Amino acid sequence: MIIDLPDTTTRDINRRLVKVRDEGGAIALGRVLTLIIDADAHDPEEAIAAANAASREHPCRIIVITEPTGQRTSSLDAQIRVGGDAGASEVVVLRISGGVTRHVDTLVMPLLLPDAPIVVWWPYDVPANPSEHPLGRMAQRRITDTSACPRPGRALRDLARVYADGDTDLAWTRATLWRGLIAATLDQPPFEPVHRAVVVGESTHPSVDLMAAWLAQSLRCPVEIERVPGAPAITQVRLQRTSGDIVLDRPDGKTAALRQPDQPEHRIALPIRQLRECLVEELRRLDADEVYGDVLQKGLARIDT
């Protein structure tokens, strides 16, 4: 069900939410968090679809903020989505313009679930300092996505300078399976040090940089990045050891081959992770991701030297 509320107020939005709850049952029961999506001037539908899918594992209230372009008058138009149009959540879309945009934090406060954690997600534009953003200051977790930026590498390094506990980026989440496979491989004999590592991948994809930074920070070895324009994200990781190289190769973005000395080649399903999967993973934790913090602040500096 979709309810449009043109030229409205947060008080009217809350009244309608209460009415919908009374008519359709206690839809707010079991909500574990409030997810705020700051879509800025972008079309929010892709982000809403991902959040709706993620809500089936993490039932939540989703508050979407979007600023239509070309509109100068101060106004607030809202839309409430529940039932089949909202997954296992309730979605409140706020279209704001004019002077309303300067008070976005006070605008969403009346719509927050009481005593529930707050997560803010910027699916398109990365703020200069997420933890100091008006929405970021009220959140336990702040999710950015540098892969959507025009210059992802620079955006990552800008985030490194202002990192605060609770920050994370979906470029880090997209490399989770790669990190898990590499870590599991290194936990097997022979337990030799890695002398040099190489990460091959798309020339501007931030997951390539974060993967290289994680290897540099974890293994304390030189790491080289081979950038391939048009490649499907990360395509290969090579670890050079005395007994021979460990190679995890995924040229097609779907299936990886793991090659190790004196072992048969292993084929592993390793598809490029979808937005919904990454968001589900990030909503599983509300504490600081200390490994991501170390990689962002220290690991990136190691591969930049």
Lowest mean pLDDT segment, chosen from 93-97, 100-104, 165-169: 100-104
Residues 186 and 153 in one domain: no
What pLDDT shows up at residue 3? 93
Range of the domain at 6: 2-169
Residues 135, 35 contacting (CB under 8 angstroms): no
Residues 6+ apart with CB under 8 A from 18: none
pLDDT over 90 percentage in the chain? 82
The mean pLDDT value for 26-53 works out to 87
138 and 119 inside one domain: yes
The pLDDT score that the predictor gives to residue 179 is 98
Is the same domain home to 162 and 27? yes
Q: Same structural domain for residues 135 and 219?
A: no
**In this structure, which amino acid lies at residue 137?**
R
pLDDT attached to residue 24: 64
287 occurs within a structural domain: no
Give me the mean pLDDT over the 2-14 stretch.
93
pLDDT at residue 303 is higher than 60: yes
> How confident is the model at residue 305, as a pLDDT?
63
For residue 297, being part of any structural domain is answered with no
Cβ proximity of 77 and 7 under 8 Å? yes
| Residue of 189, 200, 180, 179 lying closest to 250 (CA atoms) | 200
- Is the model more confident about 100 or about 244? 244
Pair (96, 229) in one structural domain: no
| Residue 25 predicted with pLDDT over 60 | no
295 found inside a domain = no
Whether residue 28 has pLDDT greater than 60: no
Average pLDDT over residues 240-259: 96
**At which of 144, 169, 194 does a domain end?**
169
Choose the final residue of a domain: 169, 202, 218: 169
**DSSP result, 9-54:** -HHHHHHHHHHHHHHH--TTTT--EEEEEEEETS--HHHHHHHHHH
Q: Which residue has the higher pLDDT, 99 or 298?
A: 298
> Going along the chain, which residue ranges are E strands?
2-5, 33-40, 60-66, 75-81, 90-97, 118-121, 141-144, 167-169, 196-202, 223-228, 234-240, 246-249, 255-259, 266-269
SS3 200: strand
| Domain-located, residue 70 | yes
Q: Work out how many domains the chain is built from and give that number.
A: 2
- Classify residue 171 as exposed, middle or buried by CB count within 10 Å of its CB (0-12, 13-18, 19+): buried
Q: Of 240, 238, 234, 237, which is closest to residue 254 (Cα–Cα)?
A: 234
Three-state secondary structure call for residue 191: coil
194 shares a domain with 76:
no
State residue 126 phi and psi, 5-degree precision.
Answer: -90, 125
Its pTM stands at: 0.94
According to the model, what pLDDT value does residue 91 have?
Answer: 94
Counting every residue written for the chain, the total comes to 305
Question: 206: which residues sit within 8 A by CB, 6+ positions away?
Answer: 146, 147, 152, 153, 155, 156, 169, 171
Does 241 score more than 90 pLDDT?
A: yes
**Cβ contacts of residue 161 below 8 Å, gap of 6+?**
none
Q: Is 119 helix (H, G, I), strand (E, B) or coil?
A: strand
**47 in any annotated domain:** yes
Q: What is the pLDDT of residue 68?
A: 80
Across residues 7-30, what is the average pLDDT?
Answer: 79
In a domain, 242, yes or no: yes
Q: Is residue 23 part of a domain?
A: yes
**Residues 263/264/270/271 CA torsion (nearest 10 deg):** 150
Spatial contact of 247 and 231, defined as CB atoms under 8 Å apart: no
Q: Are residues 263 and 135 part of one domain? A: no
Residues 8 and 118 in one domain: yes
Q: Is the pLDDT of residue 29 over 70?
A: no
CA distance 248 to 295: 21
Q: Are residues 6 and 142 in the same domain?
A: yes
Instruction: Indicate the average pLDDT of the chain.
Output: 92
Specify whether 188 is located in the same domain as 163: no
Does some domain include residue 19?
yes
| Last residue within a domain, chosen from 169, 202, 223 | 169
Question: Nearest 5°: CA angle at 219, between 218 and 223?
Answer: 105
Same domain, 143 and 67: yes
- CA 152/CA 35 separation, integer angstroms: 24
Residues 33 and 75 in one domain: yes
